[in-house]
Structure 1
Amino acid sequence: MTNAIHPPPPSATDWRDSAFDLMRGVAAYTDSPLMRGLADVLGKHPAADLGNAFNHKQIGSKMWARDALHQALGGRIGNIVLLGGWYGILAAILFDDIRFDIGRITSYDIDPDVGAVAETLNKAWSDRFSAVTADMYALDYASLGADLVINTSCEHIADLRAWLTLLPRGCRVMLQSNDYFSEPTHINCVPDLEAFVEQAQLSTLEFSGSLKMKKYTRFMLIGTV
């Protein structure tokens, strides 16, 4: 009996080609528009930091956000403004979930290199998704007509209350922060959920919770300003 002949393992230089082929196979098997979008990102945007953006911690926190949103607000949400949207992964996770009926998601990020990646990932919902390069402090929130503003990076905001005052009174928000003080870019972490509630001072609170991660705990609030 002869041994089967297998191709050599992929080298370090062609791993993206192998990952692209793998994701196309996963997309074909699952028939998932999110997986098709991810495969396209691998093919069209080889410099995108997907290993960081799509790691299990990032996905775990976004799935937690998705489930908490459904619990607090139900599945029908009109216009979502997503701040610090990065590669648009949270938007894709929400669009891909059959429990949700979302009118539109606009993803804002100050980094000009992420918008094209976000639109590739969300191309299955291109009629309801767009990525905009903009500074969240410079937006005219009253003109955006948002039914929900999402900011999952409150640890990067020096004065959270000052930013929240830019939103129209009664605007619904979903906010996340963490206690990862050792990360240099985190300039406004909170030690616990109670501190986050006090920091945000929302007028109504429909959800508050904590998600323990390996190195830190993530905190989330859903309510109105």
Structure 2
Amino acid sequence: MTDATRPATAIDDWREHAFDLTRGIAAYTKSPLISGIARVIGRHPEAEIATAFNHKQVASKVWARDRLFESSGGRFSRIWVLGGWYGVLAAMLFDDTRFDVGLIESIDLDPDVAIVARTLNHAFGERFAAMTADMYALDYEHARPDLVVNTSCEHIADVRGWLDLLPKGTQVLLQSNDYFSEPTHINCVPSIDAFADLARLAKVSFAGALPTKKYTRFMLIGTV
């Protein structure tokens, strides 16, 4: 039975229990990330926060965070996360004491997600910003982020064409997958080698694969 067909009271009860649970865990752990999740549940009942923090989503972001630290260290002045959705990766980077980040900007086409992302990352103050924008219309040359993250390259028709918009030497973290059966995935790749051929980065500091139950996620870290 879906949320659309279940009685409203069942949905409300689930959210109330989740809200109480996350607030309790936040109080125990003193975690601003968990506190942010509780705040989202309380203020944005329409947000798909359970999907954003499901085990597959979290595993892929932990993988990205760990490999980024190993390959590039933890100090960044400005990070752009494209297709940032609810700002989960930003929250996870801020939550990791290995990282010293001046500003993370979460950028997404969907105008409804920015307010949720700001709520999730409320504890991090002016170090976090959420914008509604098209990644093809961004002024990369003027802003000069020292890291550009795009974990949804399977949604980009011309990955290399987009990368050509970035100034030479920009560091990137890219993910794609081989989930060809998903209709919204218009440019999947069958292997990490195929992904590397597609991106044609000037320098690759990490290339790897993360198998999951239904598909394999691929990641490249390097510079354009």
Q: Count matched residues.
A: 216
Match of 1:142 in 2: 141
1:35 matched residue in structure 2: 34
Instruction: Read off the aligned partner of 1:193 and give its amino acid letter.
Output: I
After TM superposition, the structure 1 = structure 2 runs for residues 154-193 of structure 1, keeping only pairs within 5 Å, are 154-193=153-192
> Which residue of structure 1 aligns with residue 55 of structure 2?
56
Q: In the TM superposition, what whole-angstrom CA distance separates every residue of 1:106-131 from its partner, at most 9, and x where no partner exists?
A: 11000000000001000111210000
CA drift at 1:77: 1.2
Q: Per-residue displacement from partner, 1:196-225 (whole Å, max 9, x unpaired)? A: 000000000001110001100000000000
Match of 1:7 in 2: none
After TM superposition, give the deviation of residue 13 of structure 1 in Å: 3.5
| 8 Å CA contact retained: 1:119, 1:126 | no
Instruction: Assess if the C-alpha contact under 8 Å between 1:88 and 1:122 holds in 2.
Output: yes
Structure 1 residue runs without a partner (length 5+): 1-9
- Structure 2 residue matching 1:191: 3-state secondary structure: coil
CA distance in 2, matches of 1:179, 1:44: 35
CA contact (8 A) 2:86 2:116 kept: yes
* RMSD, matched Cα: 0.9
SS in 1 for 2:195: helix
Give how far 1:140 is off: 1.1
Moved >4 Å (runs of 4+): none
Matched with 2:204 is 205
Letter of the structure 2 residue corresponding to residue 108 of structure 1:
I
* Matched AA of 1:214: K
Which structure 2 segments of 5+ residues have no match?
1-8
Matched, 1:23 2:22: yes
Report the identity percentage. 64
Q: Which residue of 1 aligns with 2:110?
A: 111
CA distance in structure 2 between the partners assigned to 1:56 and 1:68 by the alignment: 18
The residue number in structure 2 matching 1:126 is 125
Distance apart, 1:12 and its partner CA: 4.0
Shift of 1:26: 0.6
The CA deviation string for residues 15-71 of structure 1, in whole angstroms up to 9 with x for no partner, is 101110110001001110000000000000000011211100000000000001100
Partner of 1:3: none
Aligned match of 2:46? 47
SS of 1:202 mapped into structure 2: coil
What secondary structure is seen at the aligned counterpart in 2 of 1:208? strand
Equivalent pair of 2:37/2:49 in contact (CA under 8 Å): no
Matched residue type, 1:189? C
**Other-structure match for 1:151:** 150
Q: Report Cα offsets for 1:118-171 as digits up to 9, x if no partner.
A: 010001112100000001111111111200000000000000010000000111
**Equivalent position amino acid for 1:42 in 2:** I
Q: Distance in 2 between matches of 1:74 and 1:173?
A: 13
Amino acid at match of 1:121: L
| Pairing of 1:204-223 with structure 2 (within 5 A) | 204-223=203-222
Contact 2:153 2:174 in 1 (8 A): yes
1:14 shift after superposition: 1.6
The residue identity in structure 1 corresponding to 2:68 is L
